[in-house]
Amino acid sequence: MRCTRLCGLLTMAALAATAAGAAEKPYWQEAMRAVHAKFDGAPGYVAQFGDSITYSMAFWSPLGWDDPDKYLTRDDGLPKRPATARWRDVLKGTRDKGPECGNYSGWRVENVLGVIDAVLKHEKPEAAIIMIGTNDISGGQVPASYRAGLEKIVQKCLDAGCVPILNTIPPRRDGTAAVAEANRIIRDVARQKQVPLADFHAECLRLRPGNSWAGTIISEDGVHPTAGKTNDYSEANLKVSGYALRNWVNFLAVRELYFRVLAAK
């Protein structure tokens, strides 16, 4: 039973993965084509591995009913949408939330590791969005086991022919040093494993420098993104809706992955 990036400019030259534009291959392209060659599962299904910032319906579910390509106002050399369909017709599993789908409130790396094998076996995703670490650093530091656990999550996806898209974690109140260290590890693992990176944290700071993210794109609890119009990807809205921003950076990452790897001939 199935679990149920411009707005005038490319975000962060839109993530490390797409900054160079369509004329230059991203560092992960050839490696991920090799991974995808092993794929024998559900085309278009994107798994979601993470904590409450992923478990929330504010994340990713708008891609299942709206058309984000209308916000692609700049020609970056890639098509705006699939040739014969809308993104909502191509992307599957946008509303798949809960432990059986790989995401839940309060989760840490070990929780994802506890369910990932079952999700990969049952759903056979073509790609997976992975953001985990906000709860792991709740004690003010990055656990010694964090990197090894994250690498294991990524490798399990690769072994299953599923392309993982790593997300950096957002700013957190009173957690600047631990967030920076966790994100250093996430970016390093993305490069080491040659997988796509959706640099959510960098986009938060680009749009809301210093601590201006607090109370704007990060809610008053100091941890979770703000909601509001989570399917409005205008730059003005991306400055006030943290979930819209996360949806956008991941849409851009998935769009590039789709045309460079998943649907590449």
Domain positions in the chain: 11-262
- Of the CATH numbers 3.10.20.90, 3.40.50.1220, 1.10.3720.10, 3.40.50.1110, which one belongs to the domain with range 11-262? 3.40.50.1110
Q: Give pLDDT tens digits for 86-120.
A: 999 999 999 999 999 999 999 999 999 999 999 99
**Predicted model pTM:** 0.91
Q: What is the model's pLDDT at position 196?
A: 98
Q: What is the model's pLDDT at position 23?
A: 54
Q: Give pLDDT tens digits for 127-170.
A: 999 999 999 999 999 999 999 999 999 999 999 999 999 999 99
Classify residue 98 as left (phi > 0), alpha (psi -120 to 50) or beta: left
Q: What is the model's pLDDT at position 202?
A: 98
As a residue count, the chain comes to 265
Low-confidence stretches of the chain (pLDDT < 70) are 1-23
